[in-house]
Amino acid sequence: MPNRKAVQAITLSVVKTACSNCNLHELCLPLGLSHEEVEKLDELVSARRRLKRGEHLYRAGETFGAIYAVRSGFFKTDVLLEDGREQVTGFQMTGELLGLDGISTETHSCNAVALEDSEVCAIPFSHLEGLSREIHTLQHHFHKVMSREIVRDHGVMMLLGTMRAEERLAAFLLNLSQRFTARGYSPAEFYLRMTREEIGSYLGLKLETVSRAFSRFQEEGLIAVQQKHVRILDIGKLKRLMSHHTRD
């Protein structure tokens, strides 16, 4: 249990919200900034916000004002078509940014939902633009983050456009593995925060197909799955699966 002093420090940090003593430096916006620069960034992180599982961070159509850095937890973003069809466009974890889609029209173009109890730092966008006029490193890093998002989306387009079901799932698991690794977690063992249906939506598949692909991976000794708990047993085979396509 934390003692009184620690509790007070935590409370303070919630009020003050500080990039400077956040352990996500290397993943989040402050990457590459000097100590003084990070302190300036502190000032513009206006507030933290806690969300319960299932709660929306923002919804499509709402006015855009800030981008959000995931401090803890796990999110999904999705787009809705008028006729009710839904597509999950991404899953965001610790240190990743949410809301970049809103800049273009000053209106959010997708929904962001917490998949577990989470916390985000809100960064008012006009402040970020202001500060990035002062701090070149910040400006450049922000541009890189946006660009990375574009590259990531191209990867998903590739996946949706050319890969078969099992390749898609393999790519998905490898991507998660890599991101967990970057955060200091095991590359081979993790809990999925999303349902089979959400995975399916992201991968352009039905939940039954996702489930069957999981089962088959298990049969073939590539992974061990039990519900949301995944253990990768043969990462090499999983990778090879993606280049040994039969289509074409």
Partner DNA sequence: GTGCCCCTTTGATCCACGTCAACGTGCCCG
Partner DNA sequence: CGGGCACGTTGACGTGGATCAAAGGGGCAC
Query: 160 is in the binding site of which of its own copies, DNA, none (Cβ under 5 to 8 A by kind)?
Result: its own copies
Residue 71 contact among its own copies, DNA, none, beta carbon within 5 to 8 Å by kind: none
Cα dihedral: 190, 192, 193, 198 (round 10): 160
Residue whose tokens read 């709660």 = 55
Cα distances from 148 to residues 67, 97, 145, 219, in angstroms, run 16, 11, 5, 35
Number of residues interacting with its own copies: please give it, by CB under 8 A: 49
Residue placing its CB nearer to its own copies in the complex, 53 or 140: 140
Options 209, 222, 223, 238; binder of DNA; rule CB under 7 A: 209
| Residue 222 · residue 233 · CB < 8 Å | yes
Site membership for DNA, residue 49 (CB under 7 A): no
Give whichever of 72 and 211 is closer to DNA, judged by the CB atom: 211
Q: What is the DSSP string of 100-157?
A: GGGTTTTB--SEEEESSSEEEEEEEHHHHHHHHHH-HHHHHHHHHHHHHHHHHHHHHH
Strand, helix or coil for residue 18? coil
CB–CB of 237/222 below 8 Å? yes
The span of 11-19, 116-124, 151-159, 225-233 binding its own copies (CB under 8 A) equals: 151-159
Residue 187 binds what, of its own copies, DNA, none (CB under 5 to 8 Å, by partner type)? Answer: none
Q: Crossing angle of helices 207-219/196-203, nearest 10°? A: 100
Which phi and psi (to 5°) does residue 17 adopt? 45, 110
Q: Which is nearer to its own copies, 6 or 146 (CB)?
A: 146
**Among 18, 103, 225, 235, which residue interacts with DNA (rule: CB under 7 A)?**
225
Query: Of residues 26, 62, 86, 208, which one binds its own copies by CB under 8 A?
Result: 86
Residues that bind DNA (CB under 7 A): 164-166, 192, 195-197, 204-212, 214-215, 225-228, 246-248
Residues that bind its own copies (CB under 8 A): 79, 81-87, 89, 100-105, 109-110, 129, 132-133, 136, 139-140, 143-151, 153-158, 160-162, 201-204, 243-245, 248
